[in-house]
């Protein structure tokens, strides 16, 4: 144990700190020299890990200043919840507006919650009028996006209650997707084969 502890302490005596050279990245000679990157975001519970944090993390990754054919983002939901799946659908729809806005005006930070939370929102470019029009539109869409994301849990429960009520007699309180099929992952009212960690594998692209 003492030897293991000593090995763990040695790197702390002379820590190595690496800072990315943003100027060098901006001056790279062609996108072909950049490596491919896979980014994994892990989550397990939309309550313990607020859903708004998760969707903002994904949006900031999607808006990264990097060749789109060189990186991919994956969400790994260990809880297998429908709310995360439907939140990603909302993210994909909003990203169509958010990502071009970020790249057009080089906005920072690229998490919309952090960006719109700043007292002033800096941008690159001299066309202030065009920026303000785009800014108002994106801000309005983001506010509506947040309302939809925040209401997902309630929406899914109400939808599931409606489907379950229409199927009286089977005794199953399933969780239902928007297309009218049962969610293969964890249900709101967990049962055998639909509990957290005990459900069918789910892969969505």
Contact 92, 63 (CB under 8 A): no
User: What CA–CA distances, in Å, run from 6 to 17, 118, 165?
Assistant: 21, 45, 63
Would you place residue 25 in the very low, low, confident or very high pLDDT band (cuts 50, 70, 90)? low
Q: Does 77 appear as a known binding residue?
A: no
Q: Give pTM, 2 decimals.
A: 0.81
Q: What pLDDT score does 30 carry?
A: 64
- The predicted-structure confidence for 60-106, as pLDDT tens digits, reads as follows 999 998 888 899 999 999 888 999 999 999 999 999 999 999 999 98
Sign of CA dihedral 60, 63, 67, 70: positive
pLDDT over threshold 70, residue 164: yes
Q: Does 49 appear as a known binding residue?
A: yes
pLDDT over threshold 70, residue 138: yes
Distance CA 84, CA 153 (A): 10
Residues 185-202, mean pLDDT to the nearest whole number: 81
- Structure token digits, residue 146: 């947040």
Residues 6-19, mean pLDDT to the nearest whole number: 83
């Amino acid at each position: 144990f003492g030897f293991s502890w000593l090995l763990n302490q040695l790197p702390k005596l002379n820590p190595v700190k690496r800072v990315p050279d943003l100027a060098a990245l901006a001056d790279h000679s062609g996108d072909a020299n950049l490596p491919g990157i896979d980014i994994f975001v892990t989550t397990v519970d939309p309550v313990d890990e607020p859903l708004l944090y998760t969707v903002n993390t994904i949006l900031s990754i999607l808006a990264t200043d990097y060749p789109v054919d060189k990186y991919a983002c994956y969400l790994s939901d260990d809880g297998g919840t429908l709310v995360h799946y439907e939140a990603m659908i909302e993210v994909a729809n909003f990203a169509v507006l958010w990502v071009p806005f970020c790249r057009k005006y080089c906005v920072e930070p690229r998490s919309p919650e952090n960006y719109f939370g700043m007292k002033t929102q800096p941008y690159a470019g001299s066309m202030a009028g065009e920026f303000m029009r785009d800014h108002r539109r994106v801000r309005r869409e983001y506010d509506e996006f947040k309302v939809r994301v925040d209401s997902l849990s309630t929406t899914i429960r109400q939808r599931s209650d409606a489907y379950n009520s229409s199927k009286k007699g089977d005794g199953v309180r399933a969780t239902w997707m928007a297309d009218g099929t049962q969610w293969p992952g964890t249900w709101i009212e967990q049962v055998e084969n639909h509990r957290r960690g005990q459900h069918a594998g789910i892969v969505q692209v």
